[in-house]
Structure 1
């Protein structure tokens, strides 16, 4: 069984953010770092070389594969900002309708910039997701 390659690192999230070449993306990442830190009351942790996560949970799949992952997080990618809402979006349709310009994947919320969305709605989603109990928790 293969082991998850993306793990917590010792890199400081603020150092990573300060190294972003796109000023707008850097400013949005700084804002998200503050927002998620305030909501979760957790110290941010770099996961791999580009993901910033808050909190942790353990999971185990039916196959027996186990691992750990962050509860909420984000990554300021070149094309967009990816926010990780680990319990998915099925219970957040009422919030997604009010969020603004975005796309979703299974647990990923893609935005181009914070000014495209209602940040107060995003804060609600982050708080609800962080507080959620994950079915796969051990």
Structure 2
């Protein structure tokens, strides 16, 4: 059976941020930590080795695959900062129009730095993602 690699763990969020190579990316990671913590009301937790997640939910697909995931999160990766929001939500796409400089994949939104985006839209994306997931899945 498939074993999910990205699980919540007890690794230190601060130690992870401190391990980020570039000072500017570290500074952005701390800024995002504050924004996500304040907006969600959840404490930051490490998910796998490199994702900082907030809250959690349990999902079960029609295929029978199920697991737990963070409601929202981010990861200050080497190339870009990855932001994790709910997929399949049409309102996400609408909000991204006013977000600022970014690229979007299926599961992630990528930014170079926090200065490139509208923080109020980021907060709206966080809240929308949590609302969508709570309506779609059972929160833990």
TM-score by length of 2: 0.91
Instruction: Give the secondary structure class of the aligned counterpart of 2:59.
Output: strand
C-alpha contact 1:72 1:85 (8 A) present in aligned 2: yes
Match of 1:99, SS state, is coil
Deviations 1:17-66 (A, max 9, x none): 01212001000000000100001111111011100000000011112111
Flag as ranges the 4+ runs of structure 1 deviating above 3 A. none
- Between the aligned partners of 1:60 and 1:29, the Cα distance in structure 2 is 31
Q: For the residues of structure 2 that align with 1:97 and 1:15, how far apart are their CA atoms? A: 34
Distance 1:31 1:107 in 2: 22
The answer for unaligned runs of 5 or more in structure 2 is none
Residues 12-23 of structure 1 mapped to structure 2, 5 A cutoff: 12-23=12-23
Equivalent positions of 1:1-138 (< 5 A) are: 1-132=1-132, 133-137=134-138
Please say which of residues 83-92 and 39-48 is displaced more in the overlay. 83-92
Question: RMSD of the TM alignment (CA)?
Answer: 1.5
Distance 1:117 1:88 in 2: 22
- The TM-score with structure 1 as length reference comes to 0.92
Give the whole-Å Cα distance in 1 for the aligned partners of 2:131 and 2:9: 24
CA distance in 2, matches of 1:88, 1:74: 18
